[in-house]
Amino acid sequence: MTFKEQIQQGIPSILPQKKEYDPAINHAPKRKEILSAEEKKLALKNALRYFEPQHHAELIQEFSEELETYGRIYMYRLRPDYRMYARPIDEYPGKSLQAKAIMHMIQNNLDYAVAQHPHELITYGGNGAVFQNWAQYLLTMQYLSEMTDEQTLTMYSGHPMGLFPSHSEAPRVVVTNGMVIPNYSKPDDWEKMNALGVSQYGQMTAGSYMYIGPQGIVHGTTITVLNGFRKIKQNPEGSLFVTSGLGGMSGAQPKAGNIAGCITVCAEVNPKITKIRHEQGWINEIVTSTEELVQRVASAKAKKETVSIAYLGNVVDVWECFDKENIKIDLGSDQTSLHNPWAGGYYPVGISFEEANEMMANNPDLFKEKVQESLRRQALAINKHTAKGTYFFDYGNAFLLEASRAGADVMAENNIDFKYPSYVQDIMGPMCFDYGFGPFRWVCVSGKPEDLQKTDAIASQILEEMAKTAPNEIQQQMQDNIKWIKGAQENKLVVGSQARILYADAEGRIKIAEAFNQAIAKGEIGAVVLGRDHHDVSGTDSPYRETSNIYDGSRFTADMAIHNVIGDSFRGATWVSIHNGGGVGWGEVINGGFGMVLDGSKEASKRLASMLFWDVNNGISRRSWARNDEAIFAIKRAMQVEPLLKVTLPNLVDEKLF
């Protein structure tokens, strides 16, 4: 069968041969035993409902074995034989250009060069899934190949509920992930519902088909590291940044350190992913002993090198060793997947990677004890370094949250706040999000590198023109992004789809998008998908990350994220998503995203202007109401530009009255 025929087939009526487990692939760890005997029976019933009854006898034993062996039913047998990557849009079957673009984006999320655990349909973060099983993937792709622009596909945590009649201005796909009742949003609730096959953790861009490989987080991390050094008034040259994690998101850190111009040490316990990041050029060197690491860092400091070093081992050993050897750490952070601490997101010190994986599955209580013990040691070592002048920030991965739950010394004197700031609190919130600057991204679905080069040039020209008249308050943001986009090609940031990201405000996003649409209309480039990271101005309500610099008591509310996805839906988004969970954990955040296809039409021009304006200013309005000075400045400026925008502004109270 051709590729198109396989897509159109969906779940095959004749079952393919059972596939052997490939040990060369980076697989998800075994999930812990959580289902009762009756619940296992229910999980099997749930999985078998995708198949005609004549196949049940053959599949029930196989799925039972998967559940026992891996803690989940992935349906490995149905994994396609064709190569998984974002094909040029013309290679997809279908009646709708928008639907073909979504297929392009789905396959990019599952590309072996992009996905963390591709055979388990997990893009990043240890559990950030596109689908729960391969039947869902096959059925979704089939629906998209049949869809017209008068239908909408609804996705329930990876399950394609079906195609419903709608209209051409409606979203083609509406995605929800993990939207469970709040009282059932504890980590074990996710483990159980995911094992049953009824809910999934979509992370952020994983479950909303908008991941563009590590490039997205490279840019955000570069901005964070640069601004971190600015905050401590230190030149990155010859300065040391220490962190951990080389996964789908955290793997961007060493590359960002290189772009910022510092020395980066990034610890990682998984040898497979370390090797992959080295082969991809995201890290320069791999070191396997702390003795060698100390010598290498001392040499780099003396020569003021720009270099990224992966330490294959536990980050706790690095923090403790550098304290003992008096290696000065200038910036410190952590980006292990602590939103998922008990299932592979964080590995305890003093135990091998293999031993930890076995303990995680077979003795989860002991594993949890070891993780919490390790967090206490890591926090203690960090405290010793900060006493010597290190600037440590939480990278929104729930490090401080889980460390506090483990009893580590990370709380401020009031015993309410953490003693270290979130990077959003200190850096990204006031410097970027409050002004409306966030991670705007686009994908050239033609698959042509030359199209991406043309869009880079368009974006660069527009930003330079805007910078000429931009107010002083946002000149730094403008210049950082002009520098970024000009260096994007030479930094070889593309992994997977022909994608790009930069931080832009509503004005910049609209102007860049309109210029793309005009170029498409003239035949200069092919169709373009617009999107953003959920980690943005208004898509996400996350009290320990995206909204950690909201101080009016509303940071634990999620009205903004819900309004955002509803508003995007009727203003022209091609697909929308809303998730429970994200970078800081299940039950800790509500976050939403979108995708928009530009095809050169007048309708696309109208949609982009309406939707992008709302998508950003919704968040600025909320941040303004929280009395954030930068957001008040930004929303007043937006109201001057758009007379139809009328936002309620806060009246500030004189502190002397108290």
Known binding residues for NAD(+) are: 125-126, 203, 268, 395, 583
Among candidates 253, 279, 277, which has minimal Cα distance to 266? 253
The amino acid present at 359, given as its one-letter code, is M
CA distances from 559 to 92, 313, 344, 539, 619 (A): 37, 41, 31, 10, 10
Q: How far apart are CA 495 and CA 493, in angstroms?
A: 6
Residue 217 in 3-state DSSP? helix
- H or E element, residue 259: helix 252-260
Residue 123 in 3-state DSSP? strand
Parallel, antiparallel, or unpaired for β 331-332 and 391-392? parallel
> Residues 6 or more apart from 337 whose CB is under 8 A from it?
125, 126, 127, 245, 247, 250, 344, 345, 346, 397
Q: How many CB atoms lie within 10 A of CB 75?
A: 26
> Residues 6 or more apart from 197 whose CB is under 8 A from it?
43, 46, 47, 73, 132, 133
The amino acid present at 205, given as its one-letter code, is T
Q: How many CB atoms lie within 10 A of CB 3?
A: 14
Residue 573 in 3-state DSSP? coil
How many Cα atoms occupy the beta-carbon half-sphere of 392 within 13 Å? 29
Angle between helices 364-387 and 315-324 (to 10 degrees): 30
Among candidates 594, 578, 466, 481, which has minimal Cα distance to 530? 594
3-state SS string for 420-445: CCEHHHHHHHHHCHHHCCEEEEEEEC
- H or E element, residue 265: strand 263-268
Residue 210 phi/psi, 5-degree rounding, is: -130, 20
Q: How far apart are CA 596 and CA 445, in angstroms?
A: 12
CA distances from 268 to 125, 251, 376, 400, 582 (A): 14, 9, 18, 19, 21
Is the Cβ–Cβ distance between 266 and 245 less than 8 Å?
yes
Q: How many CB atoms lie within 10 A of CB 167?
A: 9
**Across the strands, what pairs with 439?**
503
Instruction: Provide the terminal-to-terminal Cα distance of the chain, rounded to the nearest Å.
Output: 75
Residue 379: burial class (beta carbons within 10 Å; 0-12, 13-18, 19+): buried
* DSSP 8-state secondary structure symbol assigned to residue 648: P
Residue 577 in 3-state DSSP? strand
Is the Cβ–Cβ distance between 104 and 87 less than 8 Å?
yes
* DSSP 8-state secondary structure symbol assigned to residue 174: E
Binding residues: 125-126, 203, 268, 395, 583
